Structures are given as structure tokens and as C-alpha cells.
Structure 1
Amino acid sequence: MLVYEDNFAERHLPALELQPDYIWDDPDFVFPDDLNCVDKLLDRHIRDGNGDRIAIRTFDSVWTFRDLYEKSNQIAQVLTYDLGFVSGNRVLIRSANNPMFVACWFGILKAGGIVVATMPLLREKELTVMCDSAEISHAFCDERLLDALCDVSSEHLKKIVAFDGTGQNPSELERMMFAKPTQFKNFPTKQDSISLIGFTSGTTGKPKMTSHYHRDVLLICEAFPKYSLQPTPDDIFTGSPPLGFTFGLGGLVLFPFYFGASTFLIEKPSPELLLKAISEHKISIIFTAPTAYRVLTTLAKDFDISSLRKCVSAGETLPLKVWQDWFDATGLKIIDGIGSTEILHIFISSTEENMKPGATGLPIRGYEAKIVDPNGNEITNGEHGRLAVRGITGCKYLNAPEKQLEYVENGWNITGDIFRKDADGYFWFVTRGDDMIISSGYNISAIEVESVLLMHPEIAECAVTSAPDEERGMLVCAYIVLREPKYASPEKAKEIQDWFKNTAAPYKYPRIITFIEQLPKTETGKIQRFKLKKA
């Protein structure tokens, strides 16, 4: 492993004996020791004479691979020579899905930095926790999203540089890039140099930081897309997940560029805009969540989607009815999949040929899976149990040995999901094994929502659970004990919801609030959430 000048990430990696077993069962999964993943994803297209091929489209702009290459080189120059940056520094990106986000992502890695990509909906509270936990020193931020980031109070964050995500009005970063050379010698990382840190959904208290090597970024490109998509350079990808999610990063940047294809980025990807992009720009592969497919199904008849050949769903379980309705409306089979931030991307999925509607699928190339009981023994009789996975990538929490011990057992990644495995080897989702609520493709920690609610001066106690919802999959439900119960009312519930949206990421707010006089508890004081779900 290369030791960066700033070796924070290496110092906080879990010991090798705490990491999962890795499986290398194909020569496609072998990469050279000297490896900067940007070379394979971007630079080689220039060497191969494909610089004029389109890399990124939006409704307003077109970037070739050469455009992206030169801008990312200039960003690397800015980091290296203007911002007091040293290799191994963690650099945060705050932006919606747009070309400058992608240029910053590549520029950071070219300079030898470690990327921490975030979602636009995060607020000052969550961003502060990230900056403190990962000791983030620099940030690139779309100028439209500066307010929350400028409110961050962290001794580690030294420099925030704004950029223009619209491509219309050059900001600070573009002005710094203007006179910089368009060539840059990539920092000589190794295949096991850390390239990115992804935060799991619990971003209060001590969040979990997942780390991934340069080789991991390329390994996932050899896994799911080759198994389920068979991409060609003529494919055009699009989708709704933010690039701050590893689901979105893989589906909208890594996979298309690895295969020389292009991506279509939409900052606010409503179902209508997704269909407009498919129709007008001949999109062939889409990544989105089941909640979006529900709406897309009702609107598809009004658009020409004949170019679409692959539809991928992840982020939450795909109901059979959603799959069937989409198939009936379009003749296209949705490819379901399950992945995790810890493992980086999808590890169980299907092809159109081996698909069982309703099942998540089979372990894809590069991975194997099994069902285990609480003691780690394999369950082979079709009963449900904990999902265990191992393969080419795996969990490497930074600075959290106790969490690493929870996620990795006997060399296997224990994902926190409850599954069953049928006689044909197909895996079927049952439920989450923890307090995670998956709503509209977002992972929302019930404990995190509770911790935010308890900051409200009028709330004495609260408990957060979930409720099924046809549109969103699950809804966040809060049971609240007010300090002054007489003030309980629909108006008070709305007031608390509005307060929450201004305090934390709005997508996490409780959509259902129920005021109760006391929470059900055990004799030891533990809240019995299962009783609330039955209420």
C-alpha cells in the first residue's frame, strides 16, 4: 500500500484479520499493483483516440471525454498548486448530478486525494459530522449549495471552493482553472490505495465511514454490468440516484465510462424528466428506484422509450406488482439488485434470461452469498435468516473496529438484511434486520431521526418506526411524547415537520406523526417499537 503524505485513511483501516475474505476467481479481477483508477475510466479514452466521443450529456450541455479529461486535469492542478493540498487529503464534493461534479471527482483522484461525495439535501449538521469524522480538509461546492457548507464549523475544513454547476456563470474554481495546463501526471497510487470514503446513513454521533480502494472502483465495473447489462460504447446511461450514493456513482459514471459509453445527468430527475431524456436522447440503460418505476409506468405511454433496453432497480425492495406493471406497460423486465455502501455496489441480481420475478436474484460474478442463523451457521432449508456475502469487494470501516466486528463475521459481510434462499439458489428479500427505513430509495436511520427530534425543545420522548406505503415503499413514522401533551394537534405535527426539514436533510423527516402519552417500554426501559408498529 502506498502511504499518502496525509495517512489518516490508512491509519484508520481495520486490521486485516477484521476484514472479510476476498475471492478472486477470474483473471478479469486482477489489476496491476501500480493503479490509479482514473487512468482506466478516463485517460485511456484519450490515448485510444476516442477523446471526441461524448462522455456526458445534460439537457443544456455536451462534454466529450477530452473536455472531461482536460477539466479534471486542471482541477488536479488547482488542488496541487493553489490550495495547500497534499496527497491523501479528503476532499468533499457537494453538488447535484452535473458534469462539474464528475470533473471534480476525477480531479481529486488524479491529484492523489480521497473523494467524499455528498448529496445536495444534507444540511450543516450532517456535513459537520462528516468533516469532523473524516477530517476533511477541502471541499468543492456548487455555488447554489454554499450556504449549508459555509455554516459548517470544523477545525479540519480549511478551504471551500465554489464552482458553477450550471455551466453558465464561471465561479471561483473555473477562474482558478482558466490559466492551468490541461495536462497532469496522475499521482502514483497503488491498487490498494484508498480512493473514496462513503458514509452510511447514520450521520449523527459517530457515523460509519466505508472505504474503498482504487481497485475496488474498477472491480465493480467487472461485476454487475458485465453480468446484467453487457454495455457497449453506444449505450447511454441515465437515472435518478445522486452521485453521492455509490449506486448512482456506479450506474451513472463508473459503468458507462469503463465501457466507453456515455451518461445523461439530470440534477432533479423527476419521472417526467427521465422519460423526456429517454425519448429525446435515446437513452438505453436506466438506474432508478421502485418508487420511480411506479410513476414511470403511468406516464410511459406518452413518450417514445423504444431506445430503452435495460432497466435497473435498487435502493429498496422491488415489489412484484411494480415489476409486473412495468413489464405489462413496456415489455421491459426490471433487473432488481441489492448492494450496500460497504460492498460498494450490487452483489445479488439477475439477467433477463435467469430472472425470477419477485426474487432479488442470484449472486453475480465475483460474489457468493448464503443465509446464516444468529450463530453464523448456514441455513439450507429455505427458512429466512441473515444475508452473508463475500467476494471481490468488502467492508472496510475506518476508525470503527467495533462496527467492523458487527459487519464481518468469519470472513463474511453480514449486510443487515433478512433473506431466504429457495431450492434453485435464488435469494428473496424478507426485511431489514435493523432499524433502517428505506423510503423512495433513501436509507434513513430511525435512530438518527429520533436523535434529531429530541433536539426539539417541546419533545420529551420519541420513537421512530416505519409503515408500508405504495408510493414510497416505506414511510418514516414518529411517535412523540410532548412535554406539554395539551398542545398535541395536527398543527403541532406540521410545525415539528417543518422544523425538522430545516434542521436535517428534508427527506428524513417523519411523514406521519402520532402524539402519545407514553412510549411502551420493557422493565429495563427499552422502547418496544414492535408494539408501536401494531398500534
Structure 2
Amino acid sequence: MLNIHRKFCRETFYDGRLVDFQPVYQENFNFAYDVMDVIGREEPDRRAMLWCNEEGEEHTFTFGDMVRYSNQAANFFAAHGVGRGDRVMLILKRHYQFWFALLGLHKLGAVGIPATNQLTKKDIAYRCNAAGVSLVICTTDGDVADHVEAALPESPTVHTLVSVHGPRKGWIDFDAEFPSCPDVLERLPTAAKDPMLIYFTSGTTGMPKMVCHDFTYAIAHIITAKYWQNVVPDGLHLTISDTGWMKSMWGKLYGQWFMEAGIFVCDFDRFHASKVLELFAKYHITTFCAPPTMYRFFIKENLADYDLSSLQSACIAGEPLNPEVFYQFYKATGLKLREGFGQSETTLLLFNMVGDEPKPGSTGKPSPAYHMDLVDENGNTVPPGTVGEIVVHTEGGKTPGLFSGYYLNEALTKEAWHDGLYHTGDTAWMDEDGYYWYVGRTDDIIKSSGYRIGPFEIESVLMEHPCTLECAITGVPDPIRGQIVKATIVLAKGYEPSDALKKELQDYVKKQTAPYKYPRVIEFVDELPKTISGKIRRVEIRKEK
């Protein structure tokens, strides 16, 4: 064990708790060279990844393997015209080739653009043109490669298509050509402030934005893995996320490998709670992270039927945590879920730190890596108990982990990042103990009769009622109150829409929270409008008459 992460940060503690985190890096820092290659050279047999799929295949990759395969991938891409600063789109699901390819691109100084296999022709063409993509490496599973080909005539910057998981006419077969590429590579010039990753954020309004991160982004994920996920050397960590989502960068790469732990990857197409639960005992998974929806599915299973004894720590992110989920999972496992909050534009901003007592429903306290604040519309700090916007102070410059900006969109960058503050667009309030409680997006706040009402609290109450499968709270115009609360609800199986059920839900909310927050309007629907990443598009609900 090298404890290599300590080389890249200065940690300050008070009473045993981390209170300050300062990244340390050279001007040419590159995770692939400075972390992966060093571990691979010093401890080549250390496990880096345990990979399996639904067909029963299993592979264990060591850090030594990752060095060789990333070198081969770098040489492969270089042979096909990819160099420093070039943009490459990766649509590779959870195939192990994704990690070889991305690390190889890091070594070239190229910009990786991971994307989901759920994209359509229109989505792909938009992304290729917006980012100036030159090469697309894509799985042949499903029909996404067809969509890539269909988008090609509208994507003039793309000059090369590469297939994974089988040949395809007119494409270069990665699996056939990659093994013959040299597995040695002289270090190439790259800079810590070079662009490393671009992720398209689906957002709840407008077209997807291009979030650009430089090479220092990786260092900020030491906190993610060490102090939130509780990852330890020789452990095995599972984060449920496709590589097309930014969450995979939080839990399937940088932080875990900084901690010299293994990552567990199951290459599946559809989430089945029972199958995932079986993996913990079979592979001795020690730490785990998933969104609340996954935990809800777990809870619906009889957890007593599954051996979760290997699991030492579990955390949760992606959407606010309903306290009911916290208590039910704790009752079944004895583990207290640690919620965290961040964005594609950042790493972990707020979280329940290892060693702290989690408060169910709270996103925790500010990360020691950032100078956080809650401010009003004029940028002034608000007192405890008052809702404000979550912001990051940047008067001293960009903090590693914070995005470089929205790629090629200075106006949009300035809209979010001005006056020495990065504005998240999310709101919360802080209690007397310093814990933050998420309220909602700034444009989701409902202003009714002088009250400011956040959607999450009401949604949490409605989710406790057995009839509710999914719900969204929005404001609708009212001539007297300004706005009133509306609940749009997808019913669980066995329930039918009725006026009686509406009344029952309204009364239920009145009993569980302040009466002025109850939904005066309730609409039952078959499904909620969502982004491609699964976020509820409240803006679409608000547009409805």
C-alpha cells in the first residue's frame, strides 16, 4: 500500500475531523501517469477492477493491467489521428474497454466525452457538433451504433468511428486491433489545466450544457472516496451508474483508485434489485453508492433473504433522500446512509462525512475542499433557518474539482459564475448544527401567500403514502395567493384516481407538515416528464394548463 493520495493533498484535522483539504499537484499533473502508472509500477498485482456481466463472464484487472491496456489504447487512438485537445465521444455502457480508452485518452491529453447509450440520432448530432467531436468509440450492443451512423452526415467534424463488442462495416474494430498496439508509451506533454472531460448535463430546462473539467478534477475526488464513501485500500466499491453519467466519475474511477481500492463493475442493461443484492455476498463488496430510487427497490425486497455482511458503508446521492428510506434501510442492515450533494459542475459539495452522525434527510455539511455559503438574491449570507442559494466562493480562483466553465459558452458560464461566486441554482437552509437541508432548484421554489415553499419536503411526505409511486410538486398561478401548490402523482399498482384519494392525500400532507404547504391541486398521470438522465422536468409540468 502506497497511500499515494497523500502525495496530492494537505489535510487539516480538528478533533479528528477533516476541516481543510488543499490539493497539491505539479503543473503537468495527469491522473493516468501520476497515479495509475505509479501504482501499476510499484504494486502491479494490486486489484484495480472486478468486472462481470449478465452472461457470466468475469475479469479481474490489476493496476499493472491498467497501465498496459491504457498504453495500448493511447497508441491505438494516436494511430487514428487523436492528439492533445481532440474531443472523443465514448458510448461504452459498462464495458471494461471504457476504462482502457478513457485512461488512454488522458495520456494523450485528449478530451473524453462519455455519453449514454440511450442517445438518439438527434442527441448524437447535437453533441458532436457542439463539442467538435473527431472520433466516436461506441458499443455495437443495441441500436445506438445505428444512431451514430445516422447522425454522421450531420456531424462533419467526426472522421473516425470505432466499434467495441464486434465488427461493423465501415468502422474500426477496437477489440481486433487494440491487442496488437504497443503496450509501452513515453510520457507525452499535458498540463493540469488542460481540458480532460466534457459531460453534457441534461438539465431541467434548455439544451444540454457542456461541462468541462480539467485534470485537477480527479484530485478532488479523494474526499469523495475517502471521507464519504469510506473507501479503503483493498476494499471493493460499487457505484450504480452507467459510464455515460457523471456519477461514474464519482464512484468508478478517480477517488477509488487514489485510495488504491478496487472498483466493482457489473455490465448489465436493466437494474433488477434482487440480482444486485446477490452481488454483495458473491463478490464481497465493501462499500456502495446509489440513488434513492435504487434503495427503494432494495427495501421492497426482503433484505433478510440476502447476505450483506461484507458491506461496511453505504451512501446515497443523485436526488434528495426521503427519511423513510434512511430508516427502513437502517432497520434492515444496521447501516446509516450518508447523503451527499454535488453537480456535474463540481465534485462533492455537501455530505455527511465518515465519523459524523448522519441526519436523515440532510445533505450534510460543506466539503472542506470548498468555501461554501448560502446567499439571498443579492448575494448576502443568510442566517440559519433561512432558505438561500447554495454557492461556492471563488474569489481566490478556481478550486480543483470545480468545472472550468461551460465549453465554448462564455455567456452561460458568466451567468452561473460571477462576483466571486459559483451559483449552483440549488437552494437549502442550514440548521444550528451546520447541517444543510435541500429545498430545490431556485426556479422550483413556490411563493404562496408570502411563504417560500420547496418542493422536496412535500414530495417526501407524499412518497410516504403507499399510493404514491412517483410525484412532483410545482407552483401554479393563483390570483389571490400568487401561487398554490400542485402535486402531479403517478399512482402505485392497485390504486385508481378519485376525488376521495385526492382528499386523503391532502389531509395526509396537512398532518405531516405545515398545513399551508398542502397541495390544493392534485393531478394523477401515467408518467412524469423526465430528462434523459431521469431528472423530473418540472418546467414541463409548469407549462401545462
Paired residue secondary structure (1:388): strand
Cα separation, partners in 2 of 1:165 and 1:203, compared to 1, 3 Å: farther
CA distance in 2, matches of 1:435, 1:187: 47
1:322 shift after superposition? 0.7
CA distance in 2, matches of 1:111, 1:346: 27
Which of 96, 99, 104 is the matching residue for 1:99? 96
1:241 aligns with 2:262: no
CA distance in 2, matches of 1:225, 1:73: 26
Q: Report if the CA contact (8 A) 1:133-1:207 is conserved.
A: no
TM-score under structure 1 normalisation? 0.75
Q: Report if the CA contact (8 A) 1:40-1:258 is conserved.
A: no
Name 2:355's counterpart in structure 1: 353
Q: Report if the CA contact (8 A) 1:224-1:364 is conserved.
A: no
Cα separation, partners in 2 of 1:530 and 1:210, compared to 1, 3 Å: closer
Pairing 1:18-417 to 2, within 5 Å after superposition = 28-59=22-53, 60-62=57-59, 63-81=61-79, 83-144=80-141, 145-152=144-151, 153-164=154-165, 172-202=173-203, 207-221=208-222, 223-268=223-268, 269-299=271-301, 300-343=303-346, 345-354=347-356, 355-390=358-393, 391-395=399-403, 396-417=405-426
1:468 shift after superposition? 5.7
CA distance in 1, matches of 2:429, 2:533: 34
Which 5+ residue runs of structure 2 have no aligned equivalent? 1-18, 394-398, 446-454, 460-471, 473-485, 493-524
CA distance in 1, matches of 2:304, 2:95: 28
Pairing 1:410-425 to 2, within 5 Å after superposition = 410-425=419-434
Worse overlay, 106-115 or 261-270: 261-270
Q: Report if the CA contact (8 A) 1:36-1:188 is conserved.
A: no
Tell me the matched-pair count: 437
CA distance in 2, matches of 1:435, 1:224: 28
CA distance in 1, matches of 2:533, 2:401: 32
Give the letter for the 1:424 counterpart. Answer: D
Cα separation, partners in 2 of 1:392 and 1:363, compared to 1, 3 Å: farther
1:218 shift after superposition? 1.9
Cα separation, partners in 2 of 1:157 and 1:384, compared to 1, 3 Å: same
CA distance in 2, matches of 1:467, 1:248: 30
1:129 shift after superposition? 1.0
Cα separation, partners in 2 of 1:230 and 1:286, compared to 1, 3 Å: closer
Q: Report if the CA contact (8 A) 2:226-2:259 is conserved.
A: no
1:31 shift after superposition? 0.5
CA distance in 2, matches of 1:325, 1:319: 10
CA distance in 1, matches of 2:375, 2:278: 44
Paired residue secondary structure (2:443): coil
1:466 shift after superposition? 7.9
Q: Report if the CA contact (8 A) 1:76-1:108 is conserved.
A: yes
Name 2:451's counterpart in structure 1: none
Give the letter for the 2:249 counterpart. Answer: L
Worse overlay, 183-192 or 26-35: 26-35
Q: Report if the CA contact (8 A) 2:236-2:286 is conserved.
A: yes
Cα separation, partners in 2 of 1:273 and 1:44, compared to 1, 3 Å: farther
Cα separation, partners in 2 of 1:198 and 1:506, compared to 1, 3 Å: closer
CA distance in 2, matches of 1:428, 1:27: 23
1:307 shift after superposition? 0.6
For residues 125-163 of structure 1, what are the alpha-carbon distances to aligned partners after superposition, in whole Å with 9 as ceiling and x for unaligned? 111111111101011111213112111120111111001
Cα separation, partners in 2 of 1:363 and 1:314, compared to 1, 3 Å: same
1:39 shift after superposition? 1.9
Pairing 1:453-492 to 2, within 5 Å after superposition = 467=488
Cα separation, partners in 2 of 1:320 and 1:509, compared to 1, 3 Å: closer
Give the letter for the 1:160 counterpart. Answer: L
Give the letter for the 1:35 counterpart. Answer: F
Paired residue secondary structure (2:104): helix
Q: Report if the CA contact (8 A) 1:287-1:312 is conserved.
A: yes
Name 1:442's counterpart in structure 2: none
Q: Report if the CA contact (8 A) 1:45-1:65 is conserved.
A: yes
Q: Which 4+ stretches in 1 moved above 4 angstroms?
A: 25-28, 202-206, 435-439, 468-471, 504-510, 527-532
Name 1:474's counterpart in structure 2: none
1:509 shift after superposition? 9.8
Give the letter for the 1:210 counterpart. Answer: V
CA distance in 2, matches of 1:141, 1:235: 31
TM-score under structure 2 normalisation? 0.73
Q: Report if the CA contact (8 A) 1:35-1:188 is conserved.
A: no
1:378 shift after superposition? 1.0
1:203 shift after superposition? 10
Paired residue secondary structure (2:263): strand
Name 2:438's counterpart in structure 1: 429
Paired residue secondary structure (1:233): coil
Q: Report if the CA contact (8 A) 1:36-1:187 is conserved.
A: no
The percentage of counterpart residues that share the same residue type is 26
Give the letter for the 1:254 counterpart. Answer: Y
Paired residue secondary structure (1:287): strand
Give the letter for the 1:332 counterpart. Answer: L
Q: Report if the CA contact (8 A) 1:143-1:171 is conserved.
A: no
1:220 shift after superposition? 2.2
Higher relative contact order (CA 8 A, sep 6+): 1
CA distance in 1, matches of 2:354, 2:181: 47
Cα separation, partners in 2 of 1:203 and 1:146, compared to 1, 3 Å: farther
Cα separation, partners in 2 of 1:165 and 1:40, compared to 1, 3 Å: farther
